[in-house]
Structure formats: structure tokens, C-alpha cells
Amino acid sequence: MIKTLNIGILMQADDNWMGGIIYIKNLVKSIAELPANKREHIKLYLFIGSNLKKSYYEELENLVKQIYITNCIKPSFLNRLLWKVGQSSTWLKDTRLIKLLESKEIDFVYPVPINWGISWDFNCGWSTWIPDFQHKYLPSYFSTKEIKSRDKAFKYLSNNSLNIVFSSKSALSDFAAFYPESKAQKFVLSFRTIPNQDWFDNHLAPTLVQEKYNLPNKFFLVSNQFWIHKNHKLIIEALILLKRTNVKPVVVCTGKLYDSRFPKYGEEIKNSIEKNCLSDQFIILGLIPRWDQIQLMRRSLAVIQPSLFEGWSTVVEDARVLGKTILLSDISVHKEQNSPGAIFFKPDSSQELANHLELLTTKLMPGPDLISESEAQTNNKIECQTYAEQFLNIVQTVVS
């Protein structure tokens, strides 16, 4: 008789890190969409921080065995907890979650924040997750205190964690270079976007959402929170160059206008827009509903992703499943993601980006392109099944 695997998924992000929320949603949805014979011996349990808005997880309620709301899960391990706990000489140990996992006979729990499981007496398999090593490559975007704290946390993890999941081969390669002495089992799990069917139910929806936000017919879309490494300023520089030649493409931005490390960055962006008279070309919508964001992506001429660094870009995966052209900075992870619609540019070249924008403004038409979307969805079904199976293979390897 095949034993049922009880898998605990921890959801500890918040709206300052929407990528973390989407990461967990995609993981749960990918497993739920496996063929029945591949998931009949799998039970998912979702453990959620008590401060997380229900709207961020309610669509998962019918996809898991049970959801537990607990105040022993706090957001967000990549930002606050990671470096704050890293400053201390001891590591958090909260027996409440341990007891909760034991009471549900959980066999495997993921993703365990770096400041947790290393010193915990879990009676089940578990793995930490490292998306990237941004602080090693862009140290000027971190305080000295935060860099030391992250380095301490990652060093401790490398010496003590039994299992580590990385979002990309690039991150795994970095870990091997920075911590060659680590004996941990290492896995690469590159996520995919699992679309909701209601994204595609109405081919008129993209136009209706465009009208809802009073946007022009032709626009490019940027869907990143306004963190400094997301490189929004390069787009503004490209628009300034084009405006001098009377070329005026419109770029629409979704995402929260706030960077906790650089609180004044949002004002710098707004001041640059005002100074260069770009308010009708660089439009900031802020954090909007996920469904609206997807419809705007479908409607857009193309997506722009100018980041200086990524772990594994959600935006690239969204563009892939929608069959969209995407202008991508030529960083290693973007190349590893290998999006079919990718057009690369150097993340420090506003002129190169400007050239692409000028060409695509006349070459491309507003979406949706139903043929491209259909082809992308066909490919996505295969990719998402592979993603779910890779995760379950990791689980089996750890618990066996």
C-alpha cells in the first residue's frame, strides 16, 4: 500500500513582497492540477501567517486539505526576519509550529525560512529556499548591517541545513562558489506561472480593463514593485531619449511604489517624471488586483523587465504563459528562463532599450493575440506538470 504524503506549505510573504505570495500560489496550483493518479497519495496543508489578507490565498482553499492561520508565521523572511535574526547569536525556535506540524503528521514542510528549521527539532523532512544572492552582486543596495546579517545567515545555513532548494541554476552555481564546503542536498526548482481559467474567459476583458484605468490603446507594461534594483529609471531615461526625436511610447507600471531600503526612491521616480514632462508616458497604477494586471499584460504591446538582478522572474513566467513579447535585461537568470518572446538589452543602456521601444511601437499591435495565447497555454500545461513533478521528486528524495 502506498503511503499518503502529507506536505505542509508555509506562506509567509506580504504585500511588500508579492513575488513570495505568487510563488506559493503557483506551487500549490501546480500540484492540484496534476493528473489524479499522480496526486491521489498527496495531501497539501497550507500554514499562513495571521496577518496575511484572505484575498491573497482564498483561491487555494479548495486545492488543499486544510488551511491553518497561525501567528507563529511572520512575513517576510527575505526582508525583515532574515537580517534581523541574522544579527543575533541564537536562532528562533517556536514549538507551536512544530506541534502543529506533528499533530497533522506532516511528512515534509517547505519553504522553511533560513532563520527557522536549522535549529528546530522537526520530526519531518524540510527544506529551506534560496531565491538568489542579490546582496553579493549589488552590495550598494544593502546596508552594511544587512549584508553582514545575510552573510551570517547564509553561512549558518550552508553549514547546518540538510536540504536547500534554489530557484535557478545560477543561484545554485553562486551558492557552490560562495559556500563550497556545504554538505547540504541541493535542488533546483524553477517555478512556472499556473494561470487561472478566468484569465482567458473573455477576450474583451483586456480592453475593458484598459478602459477602467483610462489607458491609451498602445502601451508597454512593467509589473514590478518599485525596488531600486528593478531599474525603472532606465525606462524613464529611454523615454527621455525618444521624446527628443518626437517618439512618445507609453509605459504603464503596476506594483507598489515603495522600497523599504530606499524610502525616498518613489519620490525620485515621481520627480523625474514631472521634471521631464512624462506624466502621460510613464503611468504608475500602483498595486492593482492580479486579474487586472494580467488583463493589462494581455492588452499591452509587450512587457518590459529591466531588472538588474532576479532570482527567477515571475514577470517572465507571466509573459510566457500569455504568449507575450518581453523586453528583458540580459542578466544570466533571464537568459536561463529562455522565454520564447524575449528580446534582450543591456540593463545599463537606455539607448538600446529606446531603440527597441521605437521599433516595437510601430511593429506590434495591442493584444490579446488569441493564437499566441493558445499555443502558450498548451506549452504551459506540460511545463507546469513538470514543475509539480520536480517538487514532488524533491519531497520523495528528502523523506525517503
Same fold, 5-193+379-399 and 204-367: yes
**Residue among 201, 157, 219, 165 nearest 183 (CA):** 157
Residue scoring higher pLDDT (38 or 364) = 364
User: Angle at Cα 38 formed by Cα 36 and Cα 39, nearest 5°?
Assistant: 70
Query: 5-193+379-399 has which fold?
Result: Rossmann fold (3.40.50)
Residue 320 has pLDDT above 50, yes or no: yes
In three-state secondary structure terms, 384 is: helix
Ranges assigned E (strand) in the chain:
5-11, 42-49, 66-70, 108-112, 125-130, 163-166, 185-188, 220-223, 251-254, 282-286, 303-305, 326-329, 342-345
Residue 336 has pLDDT above 90, yes or no: yes
Angle, helix 265-275 to helix 232-243, in steps of 10 degrees: 10
In three-state secondary structure terms, 55 is: helix
Give the CATH architecture of domain 204-367: 3-Layer(aba) Sandwich (3.40)
Residue 201 has pLDDT above 90, yes or no: yes
Ranges assigned E (strand) in 182-255:
185-188, 220-223, 251-254
Neighbouring residues of 118: CB distance < 8 A, sequence distance ≥ 6: 91, 128, 156, 157, 160, 161
Neighbouring residues of 215: CB distance < 8 A, sequence distance ≥ 6: 250, 252, 283, 296
pLDDT at 90: 42
Choose the weakest-confidence range: 119-128, 203-212, 329-338, 389-398: 119-128
How does pLDDT run across 72-87, given as a tens digit for each residue? 655 444 434 443 434 4
Residue 120 has pLDDT above 70, yes or no: no
In three-state secondary structure terms, 232 is: helix
Q: Which residues sit opposite 253 in a β-bridge?
A: 222, 284
In three-state secondary structure terms, 299 is: helix
Residue 26 identity (one-letter amino acid): N
Domain layout of the chain by residue ranges: 5-193+379-399, 204-367
Residue 263's CB is within 10 A of a number of other CB atoms, namely 9
Torsion region of 42: left, alpha or beta (phi above 0 gives left; psi -120 to 50 gives alpha)? beta
pLDDT at 83: 36
Choose the weakest-confidence range: 116-120, 211-215, 270-274, 283-287: 116-120
pLDDT at 1: 58
pLDDT at 347: 98
